A and B are shown apart, each in its own frame.
Chain A
Amino acid sequence: MDPSTPKILVAEDNAALSRVLEFTLTKAGYSVTQAPNGAEAWACAQLEHFDLLLTDQQMPVMTGIELCSQLRNLEEYADIPIMLLTAKGLELELPQLCEELGIAATFAKPFSPSQVLRKVQELLTPAIV
């Protein structure tokens, strides 16, 4: 695989959803790594560098927000685009948290994979260029 291919980390506990995201993003030419929870995603993020994080909010062991705030503390992840998927809809404090953690976009389930892809492409365009 081309080393310049942007790498995306998908943290999602629902295997089926993770699978369909992986399928869509891979099809669009990205390199996708799947993690079933925040803790595993955290472990993956330390093994290699990712250009974008697509994470579910509600996950066992470590939630998406926890994962984000931990990653933001690392220098290499301080300003990568992060996209958040949420099953609960927008909680009151979420917009504020998104602001603080620099989350680029949130998608409420059920979401459209094509829209997610479009956002990913939009966020990673400079990198491709």
Chain B
Amino acid sequence: MVSCYLLVSLVAITWLSVGVVFAVHAVLSSRSESQCLTLMGKAAAQAQMAYLRDQGASFEALVKRIGDDNHLSYCGIVGTDGAFVAHTDPHKVGTKAPERTGDQMSWGQVEAIRYTTDDDHQMLELRTPLSVQAKPIGQLLVGSPAPEFWTTALAAAEVAPPAILIPLILVCAGALLLRRLILPIAQVQQQLRHMGSLPASMPLQLEKLPATSVVSIGWNRLIDQLKQTRQDATQQSLTERVAAAIEGRKQQESLHVLDHLSEGLAVTDTEGRITFANRALAALLGESGHGDEASGCPISDYLREHVDDPGSLEAVSSASPARATRGEVTRSHGERRRTLRIERQPIEAGRSGHVWSLRDITQQRLAEEMRGQFIDAATHELRTPLANIKAYSETLALMDDVDVEQQKEFCNTINNEATRLARFVDDLLSVSSMEVGSLSINRQNVQLRRMFDEVIDKVRPLTTQKSQEFGVDLPEKLGEAYLDKDKIAAMLVNLLGNASKYTSEQGRIGLVVSSTDGVLAVSVEDSGIGIAADELPHVFEKFFRSKDHRVQQETGTGLGLSLANEIVRLHGGELRVKSVVDKGSTFTVRIPLVQEARL
């Protein structure tokens, strides 16, 4: 840009200079011609006056004066014969006036001819006829150096340096100024051009300019504004994105929560088609999927496919859409049979579909069943001793002729039954304490030998009654132990009683006791009916009773083992069971022997 400006300026200056030179030359030329014409008129008059005065005697002096006064190259007068009568160069007098060749001009009588001398100078020769009283007397001839271009150029060259230099300096100054003015614009332009060449998706890279001009300041402000806007936009979009992310996360969390509910959940539209189903729903219905598979499928069809008794579903799904309904269905999976409770809850009175929930209530049902069994068993356990006590006491009271032996027998029975009743009430109380976690043990120093003897004495009648072999293996020395005698004894009687109860007549019961390394180990073995492998993990559960009909035939509350386990646990020990169906069971108690804390 600046270079263009400089180039144009230089050309202009040069052109101007040349023009000036030409103009000056032209002015000079025309001036010398007009001067010559004036001079010719004046000199012709003087020559004619001189001729009148002295017939041309003073021509010599005249031409000399004219030549000197007007800085002429030469001046002469040619006579009528064509020879010089007078000349500034005296040698030319008498010689013929030479004929000149060149550009010819004429202004009235004056003729002019421009010619080139032998030594290459431009000369202007002017001729005018002289006449006195209409009689020609000759010709006045004047030679003047013609203003030459070179001369003019040389003369101009003398003043050229200041004349050219000053505009040049001005032009340069202008260029600098221009440069300063257009530099920011050029930079802006360069950046704009760069932007233009970038693909539309690329972010714009704007650079600030040094604040040297209003343009750059303006540009910088533009960039600032743009950055601010972009930052605002970024911040806004960031906030929006964060909000969206949080929202998405919340939604995902909700789905996550719904998916991890143990309760099966499905949402249906007004047409009864599933719009959402969680993982648990699929799992409860025995599907391995995620729950999505059911989407779009009518829920009644979906459920009907998976349950044993589709009829039970009708009551739930055919009820008025505005009503909440519930029902129970069963589903068999291999050997296992599960009870599922289905509930249908309307959304906005059924106008927006329904929420269906599915819960596995098998355990609940089982617990209810166990509790029912317990109530039955407990009633039996309470009624039987009561019945005996009542029957015997009434018999004793009413019969007159009962002999002493029989009276004694009856009183013993009453006593035994009362003890049995008391024990059962104790058990019930213990279980209720166990339930609230307040079952405690009351340790005291116990002679182990004596305790085991008491236990054996209590069990012996049972085994004798069933003609069972009761093998006891007690070490010679057992010593003392610091434990809750009543509870441990009750626990052992319970274990041995079970062993006898669930072993057929002529069976074998064994009690093996050892005390080594500070651990009291008691093993109760029997050759009884055993416990099935799938029931083994449950034997210590409250109210649990085996499904085995041989167990069902016997009365029992399902409390004994859970209580025994709790008592052993409270003593810091453990109760284990090993069993094979039809071969027998072995319950092993291991209790760490602790010393009485010395106060």
Contacts and interface: CB of A to CB of B under 8 A. Distances in A.
Contacts of A121: none
A20 B410 contact: yes
Contact of B394 (A16, A87, A89, A114): A114
A87 B554 contact: no
B379 A87 contact: yes
Interface in A104-119: 109-114
Contacts of B387: 14, 17, 87, 109-111
B96 interface: no
Interface in A1-49: 14-17, 19-21, 23-24, 27
Interface string B390-401: 111011001101
Contacts of A17: 384, 387-388, 391
A61 interface: yes
A88 B380 contact: yes
B553 interface: yes
A60 interface: yes
Contact of B390 (A27, A58, A89, A110): A110
A105 B391 CA distance: 18
A16 B413 contact: yes
Which of B376, B379, B392, B395 has the most chain A CB atoms closer than 10 A to its own CB?
A: B395
A60 B554 contact: yes
B533 to A, nearest CB: 24
B146 interface: no
B380 A21 contact: no
B399 to A, nearest CB: 7
Contact of A58 (B380, B394, B398, B416): B380
Contacts of B416: 16
Which of B380, B388, B555 has the most chain A CB atoms closer than 10 A to its own CB?
A: B388
Which of B390, B391, B416 has the most chain A CB atoms closer than 10 A to its own CB?
A: B391
Nearest to B417: A16
Nearest to A63: B553
Interface in B372-413: 376, 379-380, 383-384, 386-392, 394-395, 398-399, 401, 406, 410, 413
A69 B140 CA distance: 189
Interface in A78-129: 87-89, 109-114
Interface residues of A, number: 22
Contact of A110 (B383, B395, B554): B383
A19 to B, nearest CB: 8
Contacts of B465: 15
Which of A61, A88, A110 has the most chain B CB atoms closer than 10 A to its own CB?
A: A110
A120 to B, nearest CB: 14
A123 B394 CA distance: 22
Given A23-B406, A88-B379, A109 B384 contact: yes
Contacts of B376: 88
Contact of B395 (A14, A24, A88, A89): A24
Contact of B391 (A27, A87, A111): A111
B379 A14 contact: no
Contacts of B380: 58, 87-88
Given A110-B386, A111-B387, A20 B392 contact: yes
B568 to A, nearest CB: 29
A114 B398 contact: yes
A23 B390 contact: no
B40 to A, nearest CB: 171
Contacts of A113: 391, 394-395
Contacts of A19: 413
B504 to A, nearest CB: 12
Contacts of A114: 394-395, 398
Contacts of A88: 376, 379-380, 383
A61 B383 contact: no
Interface string A40-84: 000000000000000000101100000000000000000000000
Interface string B532-553: 0000000000000000000001
Nearest to A62: B553
Interface of B: 376, 379-380, 383-384, 386-392, 394-395, 398-399, 401, 406, 410, 413, 416-417, 465, 553-555
11 contacts: A14-B388, A16-B417, A20-B391, A24-B395, A61-B553, A87-B380, A88-B379, A109-B387, A110-B383, A110-B386, A112-B394
Interface of A: 14-17, 19-21, 23-24, 27, 58, 60-61, 87-89, 109-114
Given A23-B406, A109-B384, 14 more contacts: A16-B388, A16-B392, A17-B391, A20-B410, A24-B395, A60-B554, A88-B379, A88-B383, A109-B386, A110-B389, A112-B391, A112-B394, A113-B395, A114-B394
Give 3 nearest A-B pairs by CB, closest first: A60-B553, A109-B387, A110-B390
